[in-house]
Each structure stands twice: as C-alpha cells, then as structure tokens.
Amino acid sequence: MALPLKYNFRNVIVRWRSTVSTILGIALVVAVFVLLRGLARGIERTNGNTGDPRNIIVVRKGSQAESGSLVSREQFRTVQFLKGIARNEAGEPVVSAELVMIVSAPRRGAPGEANTLLRGVTPRGMELRPQVTLVEGRWFKPGHREVVVARRLASRFDGFEIGGTFKAGAERLNVVGHFDGTGSAFDSEAWMDADECRAIFDRDMYSSLLFRPADPAAMSELIGRIESDKRLSLRAEREVDYYAKQTMTAVPIKYLAGFLGIAMSIGAVFAAMNTMYASVASRTREIGTLRVLGFSRRSIVASFLIEGSFLAMIGGVLGSSLAWFVYVYVVLRGINFGTLDFQSFAETVFQFRVTPDLMILGVAFSAAIGFAGSLLPALRASRLPVIAALKSL
C-alpha cells in the first residue's frame, strides 16, 4: 500500500523553513548550471548561424582557420575560372579572394588590449553574404584606408565608433560604418578592401576563397575537383559546414559548466541529504506509526524519494526560470559577451542563449540531485525498528 501524496505535501508545508532553504540552494545550483551551458550554446549558435548553404569556402589543406591559411594569387586565378561557378548580372564570376588578419585594439572601458579579426573583402564577397547589412554610416571606399566594423564589436573596443580610428600594421584605419552580422561569426570582424588590406600588411597571398556554384549539382563537382587537384593543395567545403566545425571555443565553457555542475551538485546533494536526515529524525515516531498501520518499507522509501525529488524539482524550475529572466534581461539590454577563439586567437563576440531544452535539462538535473540526496535518508527511515520508533519523543 502506497502512502498518499497529500502526506508528503503536508510535511513540506509544516517544515517550511527547511523546505525553503533546500529549494533556494538547489535553485542557485541549477541557475549557474543553465547559464554556463547557455554560454556554450551561444557560441555554438554563432558559428552555426554563419555562412550561406549555397557558398563554398576554400582554404589551404591542413589549416584550422582562415587566419592560418595561405592561398596564392595563382591558385585564385585557377579556381576563379573553373567551370560551374555562378556569374552575376555583369557576367563576372561570383568569387571573392579574402585576407583575414589579426589586429590589436584597446578595450572600451577596461585596461589592456585584445585581438580582433580584420577581413579584407571584395565586392563579390559582399554579394556572397546577404545576411550582413549596413546599419549605420556607409561602406568603405577602396584606397582610402577605410573600414566598416561589426556593431557588436564596436561596443567592445575604443576607436571602433564611426569617425574613430585604430592601428592596423603601420597604418591607421578610419571607421566609416557599422554592419550587423545577424548573430553570426561576422559580428566579431571588421571589413575593408582586400587588396588594400594586402598592401597594408605587405602580404602577397590571400587567406581564403569564397564562391557560389551555378547550381547544387555543380557544388559537389567543384568540391571534388578542388580537393582532388594535387597542384592546388586546397580544401573546399560548404561555407556553413566550415563554420559549424569552428566550435572549439565552446568546448572549455562546456567543460567548465560540467565541472562546476558536478562540484555544486555534490554540495547540493549533501544539503538535500542533510535536510532529509533532519526530516527523518523529527518524524521517527510518525514513521513507526506508519509501519504499525501497515505501510511497507518500500512505501516509506518511495514516499521519501518522492518528497525529496519534488522539492528539488521545484528548485530546478525556480533556477531555470531565474536563468531565463537573466537571458531576457541581457537580450533586452543588448549586452554582448566576448571570449577568446582558440582557432584564430582573436576575440569572439556572442550572446548566450537559454533555450527550452536547457531549462528542461536543468529541471532533470535538479531531480537527480533530489533523488541522490533522499536515497540514504529514505533507506534509514525504512529500517527504523518499529518499537524504538514508537517510543521516541
């Protein structure tokens, strides 16, 4: 015979002080866990939201990122005129040879400097990225030492405001506009003319090539042709696939979330266990009475497990809700976060995301804490000698 749920509900209400402390403790653990996972999710979404499925990106074989890739002008000319590449209204091949460099800039409102990415693009490169739109100012003019900066990046560095300047190589670049990358990796970049960028940094080569096949059938054919040509020694893949793989930055945050989650969950388990042991000690006679009334040990164990898990799940819901409200506040205030990209060693700007699946994961995490913290006290309660329990005060 199982104990009625109203018995557990009554005990939770009667012992409200210990109930509140347990719920709040677990809520804080879950909130931290969900927020850290949300940071990793934000980085993953930034890379997963980058690129166009119709585009192909080409880098040097063996390179992990564009900033470490070298593509010669001869290789560019060879790829540019491959059969199957789309052409624009002017009849020009839709191919962009680009250079990605790392520049250092002073942080806004904080001491020190940080690295950021400067991308040299061509007019074709802007055609290939329709998700990048100008939101303030104007686009750069080649030959005028002008640059357009991502709006989110501009809020993190001095000199990135419109009219500001920053040093790149031996030159100073003038910021003439801000663009929006719609939450993609381009929100961590500044753009200028590709050939002017090569001249400033005295580079004879490009970092990557970006082009659009004429049709889906031509995509696989072009990728295979570039990959198999040993003279080129280049790697080609869909642009969205390339950026989807650039998630190494999120790995340390995931590990941190897991480590802190385990460490804090151990503390939460002991806190829940302490609460449940105290509950058992104060309900010794009550437990003996339940045994006399015919309730089995299994029913008593199940009752304590249900009670502990229920309290923990309330804490999980509260903690997940707290994380959600923090996320909403950050979105409404337009707050962005930055971290080091372990591929390019430049700062990546992103916005963390608390999604429904992370909130559900937080509640499940809290239920596991409640179950683990209630198991031993529940077993102790079920093994209390009936006569000794009835004689206790």
Q: Are both 85 and 115 inside the same structural domain?
A: yes
Q: Are both 15 and 98 inside the same structural domain?
A: no
Computed over every residue of the chain, the mean pLDDT equals 81
CB-based burial label for 335 (10 Å; 0-12, 13-18, 19+)? exposed
Number of domains in the chain: 2
Q: Are both 102 and 223 inside the same structural domain?
A: yes
Q: Residue 79: how many CB atoms within 10 A of its CB?
A: 24
Residue 249 has pLDDT above 70, yes or no: no
pLDDT value of residue 3: 62
Q: Are both 228 and 268 inside the same structural domain?
A: no
Residues 99, 207 contacting (CB under 8 angstroms) = yes
Q: Are both 12 and 71 inside the same structural domain?
A: no
pLDDT category, 162, cuts 50, 70, 90?
A: very high
CB-based burial label for 94 (10 Å; 0-12, 13-18, 19+)? buried
3-state DSSP call for residue 66? helix
Q: Are both 122 and 169 inside the same structural domain?
A: yes
pLDDT value of residue 107: 84
Q: Which residues of 198-221 are buried (b: 16+ CB within 10 A; e: fewer)?
A: bebbeeebbbbbbbbbeeeebbee
- Cβ neighbours for 50, distance < 8 A, ≥ 6 positions apart: 181, 184, 185, 186, 239, 240, 243
Establish if 19 belongs to a structural domain: yes
Q: Are both 184 and 271 inside the same structural domain?
A: no
What's phi and psi for 230, nearest 5 deg? Answer: -70, -20
Establish if 141 belongs to a structural domain: yes
Q: Residue 225: how many CB atoms within 10 A of its CB?
A: 16
Residues 37, 257 contacting (CB under 8 angstroms) = yes
The owner of tokens 């590449």 is 85
Q: Are both 31 and 129 inside the same structural domain?
A: no
Q: Are both 120 and 269 inside the same structural domain?
A: no
CB-based burial label for 30 (10 Å; 0-12, 13-18, 19+)? buried
| The model's pTM | 0.72
Residue 393 has pLDDT above 50, yes or no: no
Structural domain for 21, as ranges: 5-48+248-391
Domain boundary among 202, 232, 262: 232
pLDDT value of residue 196: 93
pLDDT category, 175, cuts 50, 70, 90?
A: very high
